[in-house]
């Protein structure tokens, strides 16, 4: 016969086991919740676009690309991934750092996920030009996502939708002006001109001063970093030790006013033909924007664009944002031989392909856009079931016709699969009244 103590011991043991099981089950549940949270956790700079925001992005993509195509720009879609030899063959160190690298499981070669589309357009034009299939003056447009290892700015996206336009084969300022006109066409069609501010620069002025002074690449890099950070005291100290240092310093001091800059530069600089031409181009571009669009425009000669820019450059900002929504400018579109990684191979066979273009982050425009709210119509499940039970072919056909009419008007119509199939935010119901399908507000 088992003692009371033994019975109590057994009872204690059973209670302990039950408690441990409960704790394990509770822990498993918490772990499952944590796993769900981790599954939905996205990296910094990466986000889901749901419902309205996804519709905004697709609407912007479609509307803006149709506008570009209507102006004679050929729509092209480069691939998201390429071998690094072609994608990064002539890229700057910054672009290389921004590019994710992966191994091709078929060939074992290194591939990159594009962080910028312009180098891909350059490759495509070079190939078409070599094959004799490119227009003498070629216009391209594109819209696609890019993926970056780091965001632009503190809250920037690492997966923005990039849309752009490029002109190859013209070194005329008229090509740069055409792109400004194209940009304003896009912005005006979105009724966003009042939010826009354009900042104009010119890479050639700094580049020519660098040549005249015989500056090393290291010294030029130091100056570019100081310009970018607007660090005038440090810039003054550095320039004091450089040949033509006062000219480099004056770029930062008077780079917003072309007339004042011409007065401040040395005689060597002000009499140089390349610098004279660059100053005139900036003045002409500013005058065109002010006279044609009565828009806000400023000048910053120390804005040196991307690594591939060679001439006039421009950035577009919305309201008081510190990060540019649009970046554009002139660059050398000379053929690039991806296979040999040698820019000179095709350059010996083909004339230089001057080019100019801009890219726009569509994602950044979404907060300024409001879509017309469309009706969300739910067909009465009970009425649908009634029609099926009665095997009424006429009412079933009338329903199909009515739904098609509503969808043609831009309404969203849902045919429920069950009585529980009821989306959120339903605005109207399609019900059967006196043998007719009638739309009623909820």
Q: Could you please report the per-residue DSSP string of 63-96?
A: HHHHHHHHTTPEE----SEEEHHHHSTT--HHHH
pTM, two decimals, is 0.82
- Asked if 387 and 374 count as a contact pair (C-beta separation under 8 A), the reply is no
The H or E element that residue 136 is part of is none
What span, in angstroms and rounded, lies between the C-alpha atoms of 158 and 242?
38
User: Distance of alpha carbon 287 from its chain centroid, rounded?
Assistant: 28
Question: What tokens were used for 92?
Answer: 């700057």
Is the Cα torsion angle 265, 270, 272, 274 positive or negative in sign? Answer: positive
H helices present in 112-172, as ranges = 118-130
Question: What tokens were used for 61?
Answer: 């993509």
Closest CA to 210 of 260, 237, 245: 245
Question: 90-96: long-range contacts at Cβ-Cβ below 8 A with a sequence spacing of 24 or more?
Answer: 90/119, 90/308, 90/336, 90/341, 90/343, 91/119, 91/307, 92/306, 92/307, 92/308, 94/307, 95/119, 95/307
Cα-based distances in Å from 103 to 43, 113, 187, 389? 21, 11, 40, 59
**Which pLDDT score, from 0 to 100, does residue 38 have?**
62
Cα-based distances in Å from 67 to 73, 134, 413? 9, 22, 29
Q: Which fold has domain 40-169+333-371?
A: BirA Bifunctional Protein; domain 2 (3.30.930)
Question: What tokens were used for 15?
Answer: 């209670």
328-379 residue pLDDT tens: 999 886 544 333 344 433 334 444 689 999 999 999 999 999 988 889 999 9
- Asked if 357 and 328 count as a contact pair (C-beta separation under 8 A), the reply is yes
Burial of 12 (0-12, 13-18, 19+ CB in 10 A): exposed
**Which pLDDT score, from 0 to 100, does residue 25 have?**
55
What span, in angstroms and rounded, lies between the C-alpha atoms of 57 and 160?
10
**Which pLDDT score, from 0 to 100, does residue 339 have?**
36
- Asked if 292 and 248 count as a contact pair (C-beta separation under 8 A), the reply is no
**Which pLDDT score, from 0 to 100, does residue 156 have?**
84
Secondary structure (3-state) at 19: helix
Strand order across the 81-83 sheet: 81-83, 110-113, 100-103
Q: For the chain, 442 residues long, give each residue's pLDDT as a single digit of tens.
A: 444 444 333 333 444 444 555 555 555 554 554 565 666 788 888 999 988 899 999 999 999 999 999 999 999 999 999 999 989 887 888 889 999 999 999 999 999 999 999 989 988 998 888 888 878 999 999 999 999 999 887 778 999 999 999 999 999 999 999 999 999 999 999 999 999 999 999 999 999 999 999 999 999 999 999 998 899 999 999 999 999 999 999 999 999 999 999 999 999 999 999 999 999 999 999 999 999 999 989 999 998 766 778 899 999 999 878 889 999 999 886 544 333 344 433 334 444 689 999 999 999 999 999 988 889 999 999 999 999 988 889 999 999 999 999 999 999 999 999 999 999 999 999 999 999 999 999 9
- Asked if 288 and 180 count as a contact pair (C-beta separation under 8 A), the reply is yes
What span, in angstroms and rounded, lies between the C-alpha atoms of 257 and 253?
9
The H or E element that residue 147 is part of is none
Question: What tokens were used for 59?
Answer: 């609407």
Question: What tokens were used for 38?
Answer: 């981790």
Who's near 421: CB < 8 A, 6+ residues apart?
Answer: 381, 414
Question: What tokens were used for 27?
Answer: 């822990």
Write the DSSP symbol of residue 193: G
For the chain, what is the radius of gyration of the CA atoms?
A: 31
E-strand stretches of 92-183: 100-103, 110-113, 138-145, 161-168
**Measured distance between the N- and C-terminal CA atoms of the chain, rounded to whole angstroms:** 74
């Amino acid at each position: 016969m088992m003692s009371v103590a033994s019975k109590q011991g057994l009872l204690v043991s059973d209670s302990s086991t039950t408690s441990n099981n409960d704790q394990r089950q509770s822990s498993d549940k918490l772990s499952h919740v944590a796993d769900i949270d981790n599954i939905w956790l996205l990296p910094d700079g990466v986000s889901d676009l749901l419902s309205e925001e996804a519709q905004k992005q697709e609407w912007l993509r479609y509307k803006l690309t149709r506008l570009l195509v209507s102006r004679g720009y050929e729509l092209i879609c480069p691939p998201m991934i390429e071998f690094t030899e072609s994608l990064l063959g002539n890229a700057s160190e910054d672009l290389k750092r921004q590019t994710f690298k992966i191994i091709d499981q078929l060939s074992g070669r290194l591939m990159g996920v594009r962080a910028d589309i312009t180098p891909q357009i350059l490759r495509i034009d070079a190939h078409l030009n070599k094959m004799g299939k490119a227009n003498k003056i070629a216009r391209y447009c594109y819209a696609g996502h890019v993926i970056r290892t780091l965001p632009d700015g503190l809250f920037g996206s690492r997966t923005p939708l990039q849309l752009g336009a490029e002109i190859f084969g013209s070194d005329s300022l008229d090509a740069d002006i055409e792109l400004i006109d194209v940009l304003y066409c896009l912005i005006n069609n979105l009724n966003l001109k009042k939010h826009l501010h354009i900042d104009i620069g010119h890479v050639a002025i700094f580049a020519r001063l660098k040549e005249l002074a015989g500056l090393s690449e290291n010294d030029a890099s130091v100056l570019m970093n100081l310009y970018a950070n607007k660090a005038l005291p440090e810039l003054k100290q550095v320039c004091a030790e450089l040949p033509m240092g006062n000219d480099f310093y004056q770029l930062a001091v008077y780079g917003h006013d072309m007339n004042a800059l011409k007065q401040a530069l040395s005689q060597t600089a002000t009499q140089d033909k390349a610098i004279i031409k660059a100053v005139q181009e900036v003045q002409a571009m500013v005058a065109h924007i002010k006279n044609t669009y009565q828009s806000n425009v400023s000048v910053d000669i120390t804005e040196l664009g991307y690594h591939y820019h060679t001439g006039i450059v421009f950035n577009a900002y919305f309201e008081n944002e510190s990060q540019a929504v649009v970046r554009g400018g002139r660059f050398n579109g000379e053929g690039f031989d991806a296979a040999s990684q040698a820019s000179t191979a095709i350059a010996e066979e083909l004339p230089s392909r001057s080019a100019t273009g801009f890219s726009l982050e569509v994602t950044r425009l979404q907060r300024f856009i409001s879509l017309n709210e469309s009706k969300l119509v739910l067909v009465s499940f009970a009425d649908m079931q009634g029609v099926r039970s009665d095997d009424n072919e006429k009412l079933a056909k009338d329903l199909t016709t009515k739904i098609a009419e509503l969808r043609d008007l831009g309404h969203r119509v849902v045919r429920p699969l069950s009585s529980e199939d009821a989306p959120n935010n339903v605005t109207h119901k399609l019900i059967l009244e006196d043998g007719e399908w009638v739309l009623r507000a909820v």
